[in-house]
Chains A and B, each alone.
Chain A
Amino acid sequence: MEGLLPDLDVIRKDFPILERTLAGGVPLVYLDSANTSQKPQVVIDTMVDHLERHNANIARAMHQLGAESTEAYEGARDKVAAFLNAPSRNEVVFTKNATEALNLLARTIELGPGDNVVITEMEHHSNIVSWQLACERSGAELRWFGLTDEGELDLGNADQLVDENTKVLAFTWVSNMLGTINPVTDLVERARAFGALSVIDASQAAPQLPVDVQAVGCDFLVFTGHKVCGPTGIGVLWGREDLLNALPPFHGGGEMIETVTMARSTYAKVPHRFEAGTPPIVEAVGLGCAVDYLGHIGLDAIHAHEQAITAYALEGLQTVPGLRVMGPLDATRRGGAISFELDGVHPHDIAQVLDSRGVAVRAGHHCAKPAHARFGVQSSTRMSSYLYTTPAEIDALVEGLHHTRSYFKVG
């Protein structure tokens, strides 16, 4: 199959969990990577090594371990900056996850009555609720792009939605439900034309596409560590340095200050401005290792692999009677998450039967209830591949779906 990673067998050996078997001795077929990715041995080892040999608090311990730990943490920032092609390492702020990064922006960007914030109907709840809260607090208006029947952004009324009162245009690069890849540079340009800040949720894009913040030209971009082969508990907010330094602090505490008196404090510049308290140190170190690992394989090669697997999966899913894929059917226009409905069987029940065969998928609303409502469904089943996914695993999914239909005596 064209486009697959040439060393797929070798890559799979990097991920120890893929050798696991489940109840009944069936091998694991992990198709839930859009939920969280599996971790390569090198990330696990790097984190263990840090905890075994270098553990200390950072930037405040005047001893050798403190210096080593600080170097490892700040080294991770350099790796993430390189991963994003950021002009400056200072622009990389470590957060708990993408949700916290989005909430940081929604909390600190100044909004008021008369202003508006524009999002889209395909956002993850984290990029909806955080702006709903911001608009409720400030009196700003929340607007959103709708979706076409093909699961792409409906840009037909873009000229009415984004106007001179738009302060923020926030959107996902790749939909976690529909898989749609959005025209990010066009949206960024539209925001800039009206003086609005552009905020990109790259949680699903960063694992599978080359992300170059300078090429995209956005103002802010967020992603989470655990979907790019890193650990949980670590996310990234990238922003233009001048814009980040102009935002008021988010959390107050240690490490984010310049000086503190009982009457008032002054605040550090980014990145420390937004990293109050002891950060997730070993998680950052693990993330740095993970983005290095992806960079070593190459995001272009990973993207090609995802597209090949996605095309193969779309083809296989079409052989299942009564199955409807939501989102683009052209693999070149989408990411590796494919949500679908199967007539007569609820997603929970599909996931349960697949699980009994070792096939792990997600069932539910995938934190994208409005996007589901747009397609008239309450929930869906989602398979999501990654750099370690094989065509044989897609075959196992498709066979499992045929079996599910016969198990529930559908059709």
Chain B
Amino acid sequence: MSAELDSLYQEIILDHYKNPHHKGLRGDPSSAGTAEVHHVNPTCGDEVTLRVHLADGAEGRVVQDVSYDAVGCSISQASTSVMADLVIGKPVDEAMSIHQTFLELMQGKGQVEPDEDVLEDGIAFAGVAKFPARVKCALLSWMAWKDATAQAQSDSAQTGGVTHD
């Protein structure tokens, strides 16, 4: 059983949990191309407030920055940290594709082989897919990021703004 537990709590996950990357909201939430969302997991109360800044790059929209405030378990906190690492600096289309890859891994019931080239530290979450109760923890901030990015894209042409769901 301990092996099973160790497959869930990979060292990478515990490292991100203890030293989360990009934590702490930053930037101006009212600037153009910016959106902020607040997502909760109603069953356990985990919460994340996540801010996304998009910018125009040479090849279209780019995820210029992601920052957040979050409270929750090791899985949700580490997942947020890994997600921010993965998407910051990427074109929006590529980031969305990484999102999709991570989603498929989480929904794969432990049967999906993770692609390290795409997911990097995110492959550590492969074990989480075997614990149905924890999949929502791992996905909380990824869903928040997708929501915020979609909002930033739709209003970035105008003045930007803050929304709460």
Contacts and interface: CB of A to CB of B under 8 A. Distances in A.
Contact of A364 (B5, B8, B9, B44): B44
Contacts of B134: 348, 352
A79 interface: no
A365 B44 contact: yes
B112 interface: no
Contact of B45 (A23, A349, A356, A378): A378
Given A352-B8, A356-B1, A364 B74 contact: no
A398 to B, nearest CB: 19
Residue of B4, B46, B73, B134 with most partner-chain A CB within 10 A: B73
A363 interface: yes
B89 to A, nearest CB: 29
Interface residues of B, number: 21
A379 interface: yes
Contacts of A352: 5, 8, 131, 134
A356 B137 contact: no
A346 B73 contact: yes
Interface string A8-26: 0000000000000001101
B147 to A, nearest CB: 21
B5 A356 contact: yes
Interface in A336-367: 346-349, 352-353, 356-357, 363-365
Contact of B4 (A23, A346, A348, A363): A23
B71 interface: yes
A405 interface: no
A369 interface: yes
Interface in A365-411: 365, 369, 372, 378-379, 407-409
B1 A349 contact: no
Nearest to B3: A24
A369 B1 contact: no
A136 B47 CA distance: 27
A373 to B, nearest CB: 10
B43 interface: yes
B72 interface: yes
A341 to B, nearest CB: 13
B14 interface: yes
B159 interface: no
A340 to B, nearest CB: 16
Interface string B125-150: 00000010010010000000000000
A276 to B, nearest CB: 30
A365 B45 contact: yes
A372 B43 CA distance: 14
Nearest to A25: B1
Given A349-B9, A349-B75, A365-B44, 14 more contacts: A346-B74, A349-B74, A352-B134, A353-B5, A356-B2, A357-B1, A369-B45, A378-B45, A378-B46, A378-B47, A378-B71, A379-B44, A407-B5, A407-B9
16 contacts: A23-B1, A346-B72, A347-B44, A347-B73, A348-B44, A348-B72, A349-B9, A349-B74, A352-B8, A352-B134, A357-B1, A365-B44, A378-B45, A378-B71, A407-B5, A407-B9
Interface of B: 1-2, 4-5, 8-9, 14, 43-47, 71-75, 77, 131, 134, 137
What are the nearest 10 A-B pairs in CB distance?
A: A24-B1, A348-B73, A346-B73, A364-B44, A365-B45, A356-B5, A356-B1, A379-B45, A378-B45, A349-B74
